[in-house]
Amino acid sequence: MKKIATLTLGLSLTAAGTIAAEPPSDADNFYQNEKLKQEKVFFPTLYRLQVAGLLVLPESFQEGVRYPALVIGHPMGAVKEQSARLYAMKMAERGFITLAIDLPFWGESEGAARNAVLPDLYTEAFRAAIDFLGTRPFVDRQRIGAIGICGSGSFAISAAKIDPRLKAVATVSMYDMGTATRCGLKHAQTLEQRRKILEEAAEQRYIEFSGGDIAYTGGTVHELTEHSTPIEREFYEFYRTPRGEVTPPGSTPETTTHPTLTSNVAFMNFYPFNDLETIAPRALLFITGENAHSREFSEDAYRRAAEPKELYIVPGAGHVDLYDRTSLIPFGKLEEFFTRFLTGSER
């Protein structure tokens, strides 16, 4: 049996009961629009790993027209069928070419070990998606943007810092995966706790090098108890129920959402917000929920960014609400932002 280790994020929250809530009536992770043309695509990174994507064309698509395009990244530990595809559908309905991708090591993208963490390759996946989109005859390569959801927000930001082809970036419920891993939420993780994680991961490398089972960490709990925290409950109600549950190729229900323990510490060397101001004059939009436990990351990024920038707070929304709750996700705001900053004459 593969081992699931515990990654402490320094939380001290009150348990919220033992029974998962009914999904909100507006939760629609598996939304489909049959009028949109969808195509599964594969394309290589610079390092020749194949990235899987879902390409979606707007209903108004016409041959000979070049459209603005968006790369859309899924939450950390998820796959493109969780949240990213929904955003791809909704933004295609608004006239954009969209491409929801699986990060390397996740979903249908290549990379071993499965569920491995390598922030540089996650960043590269966004850049490879630009390569793909920018070589399509129906995409205006001067009007390519990105949406990063949860952890992918930090990967999209990382890509924009080194790739000027990304003309505008929006993040939704963003996690700075570096700070979250080093310091925990609200910087509640101590240096001693960090060292313990590093020591555990280092010792596990000996086990796996010698042929032992892979160990996994973090991710979403598999059952709720009277001691479950509100954040554990929030993720459980998306990832472990029909609301958003997906078991991607190469995974099992036991390993889904869990990164490998030995690789997860790579996030401790990940600083996506350093030099964030250098993205200007390209525009940044940070969308977060009023009640999101991750709000601190969007606020931190907004403080560090240079103009043009905007922090958009969704009233009453939590972190996972912006994964799939269509009445709360501000698709109109995203349309307005990208229409403004992905300028061009052929829209």
pTM summary value: 0.93
Asked if 343 and 68 count as a contact pair (C-beta separation under 8 A), the reply is: no
> Rounded mean pLDDT of 167-190?
98
Residue 125 predicted with pLDDT over 70: yes
Look at residue 251 in the predicted model and tell me its pLDDT.
84
Closest CA to 147 of 346, 278, 316, 329: 329
- Compute the distance between CA of residue 98 and CA of residue 54 in angstroms, rounded to an integer: 8
Task: Name, in order, each residue with C-beta under 8 angstroms of 219's C-beta and a sequence gap of 6 or more.
Answer: 4, 77, 256, 257, 258, 259
Whether the CA torsion 188, 191, 197, 201 is positive or negative: it is: positive
Look at residue 344 in the predicted model and tell me its pLDDT.
56
Task: Name, in order, each residue with C-beta under 8 angstroms of 78's C-beta and a sequence gap of 6 or more.
Answer: 84, 106, 150, 239, 246, 257
Let me know how many helices (H) and strands (E) the chain has, helices first.
10, 10
Look at residue 2 in the predicted model and tell me its pLDDT.
42
Look at residue 254 in the predicted model and tell me its pLDDT.
92
Residue 203 predicted with pLDDT over 90: yes
Place 53 in a pLDDT band, splitting at 50, 70 and 90: very high
Q: At 297, is the secondary structure helix, strand, or coil?
A: helix
Higher pLDDT, 12 or 257: 257
Look at residue 5 in the predicted model and tell me its pLDDT.
41
Alpha helix locations (H) across 135-257?
Answer: 152-162, 177-183, 191-209, 230-239
Q: At 158, is the secondary structure helix, strand, or coil?
A: helix
> Rounded mean pLDDT of 169-193?
98
- Compute the distance between CA of residue 288 and CA of residue 342 in angstroms, rounded to an integer: 22
Place 234 in a pLDDT band, splitting at 50, 70 and 90: very high
Q: For the segment 279-308, what is each residue's pLDDT rounded down to a tens digit?
A: 999 999 999 999 999 999 999 999 999 999
Q: Is 168 exposed, middle or buried (0-12, 13-18, 19+ CB in 10 A)?
A: buried
Look at residue 20 in the predicted model and tell me its pLDDT.
56
Q: For the segment 92-120, what is each residue's pLDDT rounded down to a tens digit?
A: 999 999 999 999 999 999 999 999 999 99
- Compute the distance between CA of residue 233 and CA of residue 235 in angstroms, rounded to an integer: 6
Query: Which percentage of the chain shows pLDDT scores above 90?
Result: 90
Identify the weakest region by mean pLDDT among 9-23, 32-46, 177-191: 9-23
Look at residue 19 in the predicted model and tell me its pLDDT.
56
Q: For the segment 306-347, what is each residue's pLDDT rounded down to a tens digit?
A: 999 999 999 999 999 999 999 999 999 999 999 999 975 443
Look at residue 343 in the predicted model and tell me its pLDDT.
78
Residue 285 token pair: 């939009």
Indicate the fold that domain 3-341 takes in CATH.
Rossmann fold (3.40.50)
- Round the average pLDDT of the chain to a whole number and report it: 93
Residue 257 token pair: 């959402």
CA atoms in the 13 A half-sphere facing the CB of 126? 34
Residue 17 predicted with pLDDT over 60: no
Place 170 in a pLDDT band, splitting at 50, 70 and 90: very high
- Residues paired with residue 55 on neighbouring β-strands, in sequence order: 39, 99
Closest CA to 338 of 301, 298, 278, 283: 283
Residue 167 predicted with pLDDT over 60: yes
Place 62 in a pLDDT band, splitting at 50, 70 and 90: very high
- Compute the distance between CA of residue 48 and CA of residue 240 in angstroms, rounded to an integer: 33
Asked if 154 and 178 count as a contact pair (C-beta separation under 8 A), the reply is: yes
